[in-house]
A and B are shown apart, each in its own frame.
Chain A
Amino acid sequence: MSTTITRRSRLHRKEHQAALVFVAIPVIGFLLFTLFPLIFSVYASFTNWNGISAPVFKGLDNYIKMFGDRYFLKSLWNTIYMMIGIPVGLVISLALALAMNRKMRGTTFFRTVYYLPVISSIAAVAILWQWAFNGDFGLINQGLGLLGIEGPNWLQDTATVKPALIIMAVWKGLGYSMLLYLAALQSVPRYLYEAAALDGATAWQQFRHITIPMVRPVTFFLIVTSIIGGSQIFVEINIMTPTGGPEFESASIVWYIWQKAFDNLQMGYASAMSVVLGLLVFMITFIQFRLNRRNQFSID
């Protein structure tokens, strides 16, 4: 092998040069817009900085302040609370995928319909759901009225603002999880079910011991990506509850970071919170990379 390399080293050098040029652009972009800002963010998190004058080094002040900040803790709690929607969405989407996995007419049509919210702009979706959640004339309360229930003023009520946002998030994300589950279900070998049926396994047993394990990688992938996405929830909060909701009940971490950084110009403090968020997301992603074998890609 080494003799080939020497013989063709000039050719290799040319290849190396061309390859370097090709990958240079994304690598430079990564250095400029990811790595440098990341280092800067970590540095700024240790400073008192308004974004205009020079940052003043303050050590761990921002981090200590954060965990005594009622609003930060509240927005962190809200963000975690709103992730209740993740398991709910997964169960519904698996059920939908199972239903669509049947050989019957119309599944393509249903797939399209359930997928529409996924591709819709979150800004437009937030606007239309804000209208749907309107206490007096909204679609939701109209529907509840048909059942004889008097619906609350969803987005103005401390008890219902988070559930309202969760309902919307489930509605928007359902199609995506359903599609991934459907793809996973279609790749389950049919003979597994046939063998189980021959052994007298009931439908429930087949579901419990074949289907669930076979779609586990997708479940895992969806949980991780949903947590990462959910931890960054912002747009619907910003549009539907511009002030963070009644008594700060719907403010999310990113919403609070955004407000502190760009409204109050407390960029040092906001950077510290963004670093904490980054660490959380990094940890979740890292766990996924380590645990999920199917996520490994071969490097030649």
Chain B
Amino acid sequence: MSAQNVITTPPLEPAAAIPGGAGRQDKSGPRGVKGQRSAKDGLRLGNILTTLVLSVGAIIMIAPLAWTFSTSLKTKDGVFELPPQWIPDPFVWENYARIWTAGPLLSGIQNSLIVACSVTIIGSLTSALAAFAFAKMRMPFKNVMFLGLLSGLMIPFPTLMIPQFTIFASIGWVDTLLPLIVPGLFGNIIMIFFLRQFLNSVPDSIVEAARIDGASYLQIFWTLIMPAIRPALAAQFILWFMAVWNDYLAPIIYLNSPGTQTLQLVIANFNAQYAIQTDYPLIMAASFIALLPVLIVFIVFQRQIIESIALSGSKG
């Protein structure tokens, strides 16, 4: 009965995973050799069907990205050819040379790097220090402060953006990178939350032992806590870096002149400006360049990122 399900259930039907389990049950169940083999065959067929459907889905997922890359290598007119070519003929690599002079792409990358690096490096340190204090140290009103910080997560940025803008405008920081950098230096509540959770699994005794040995709290933080939280810190760091790198709403509020804009704004302006001239290869090349760093970071660190996200979901 269950073997039949393995064969006939289309993998995109929600019931698909259960037959996988059922197949395994058949193996351990009290059945003859024949039953075992048919269940195994069913399992294999189910896997093939699942792979097939997942492959079709994967093509749909990857198609827009592939289409972007393909368009970025076409000539200006090649874009409008019907039927469309997936593989451009000829390859116009020159588009990737043109983008650097067509707009402030380079300064956009620099600005994004300045913002993302300063925020995440310094902000991670302040977050880790606070997480250490919240998890392993005694202080009055600790829980009140922690809950206060957490309540900040419930307030969406759009509710705060108008006063924040006014504050930064009053001290002349509009059209500089400072409004994007300074708030982040004070730490990230989500990161504090997860590092604190992570530190709960580190025994208090190591901190106490170090205290008895005469180590200061800063020394304990640096020599004991930092190495202990490294995996969690690394994953949260990468997630935060990608979030800052991809941010759009805060930059569009503060940055006007081309020289101060971050990469996301630069490509949005590319899009607005060159769509009129129907220079789609240029737009797509610039967008692809903007996607590339995060794609590389993701592919290199995907195990840590995926584990950390899966963890955050099960905790959330």
Contacts and interface: CB of A to CB of B under 8 A. Distances in A.
Given A120-B65, A121-B245, A15 B137 contact: yes
A113 B63 CA distance: 11
Contact of B271 (A27, A113, A239, A277): A239
How many of chain B's residues touch chain A, expressed as a range?
35 or more
A26 B149 contact: yes
A183 B314 contact: yes
Contacts, number: 351
Interface in B18-50: 18-22, 24-25, 28, 46-47, 50
Interface string A4-26: 00000000100110111011011
A110 interface: yes
Interface stretch (A69-77, A80-88, A158-166, A189-197): A189-197
A123 interface: yes
Interface string A161-186: 00000000001001110011011110
B213 to A, nearest CB: 14
A49 to B, nearest CB: 9
Given A41-B163, A99-B17, A267-B162, A28 B186 contact: yes
B164 A33 contact: yes
A25 B187 contact: yes
B186 A29 contact: yes
A128 B163 contact: no
B21 A142 contact: no
B64 A114 contact: no
A236 B271 CA distance: 12
Interface size class of A (residues with CB under 8 A): 35 or more
Given A127-B283, A131-B280, A142-B84, A235 B71 contact: no
B17 A185 contact: yes
Interface stretch (B8-16, B94-102, B228-236): B8-16
B167 interface: yes
Given A193-B22, A232-B156, A184 B15 contact: no
Given A34-B155, A40-B163, A171-B64, A111 B14 contact: no
A72 B101 CA distance: 41
A38 B159 contact: yes
A283 B19 CA distance: 40
B171 interface: no
A296 to B, nearest CB: 10
B268 A218 contact: no
B73 interface: no
A44 B155 contact: no
Contact of A101 (B17, B65, B242): B17
A250 interface: no
B267 A124 contact: yes
Nearest to B272: A242
A142 B13 CA distance: 27
Given A15-B217, A29-B183, A30-B148, A38 B272 contact: no
B4 to A, nearest CB: 10
Given A232-B158, A285-B153, 8 more contacts: A19-B138, A20-B139, A99-B12, A110-B54, A123-B290, A274-B159, A281-B155, A294-B316
Interface of B: 1-2, 5, 9, 11-22, 24-25, 28, 46-47, 50-51, 53-55, 57-58, 60-65, 67-68, 71, 79-80, 82-84, 126-127, 129-130, 132-134, 137-140, 142-143, 145-146, 148-149, 152-167, 169, 183, 185-187, 189, 192, 197, 200, 216-218, 221, 242, 245-246, 248-249, 252-253, 264-265, 267-268, 271-272, 280, 283-284, 287-288, 290-291, 294-295, 298-299, 302, 305-306, 309-311, 313-316
Of all A-B residue pairs in the complex, the 5 with the closest CB atoms, nearest first, are A29-B186, A98-B17, A180-B313, A278-B159, A183-B310
